[in-house]
Amino acid sequence: MPSISTFYGIIIYMYFMDNRQHKTHHIHVKYQGQEVVVSIPDGSVLEGSIPHRK
């Protein structure tokens, strides 16, 4: 799983061919053991959560 960016302890991942569960373009964001999946086109949260300030 390649990370595409790391800053302030936040790691951004984009998985190749990850369209089984989420039917839109998205990224995975990990922070201190928590994960959120964010839609790329509009920034909406598809699944999970991390602290709001992050």
Is 41 a domain residue? yes
Quick one: which H or E segment has residue 7?
A: strand 3-7
Domain assignment present for residue 26? The answer is yes
10-40 residue pLDDT tens: 999 987 666 666 677 888 999 999 999 988 8
The whole-model pTM stands at 0.75
Measured CA to CA, the distance from residue 24 to residue 54 in angstroms comes to: 23
Note whether residue 54 is domain-resident.
no
Cα dihedral 46/50/51/54 (nearest 10): -90
CA 51 to chain centre: 13
Is residue 18 a part of any domain in this protein? yes
Is position 43 within any domain?
yes
Looking at residue 34, its pLDDT comes to: 93
Residue 39 resides in a domain: yes
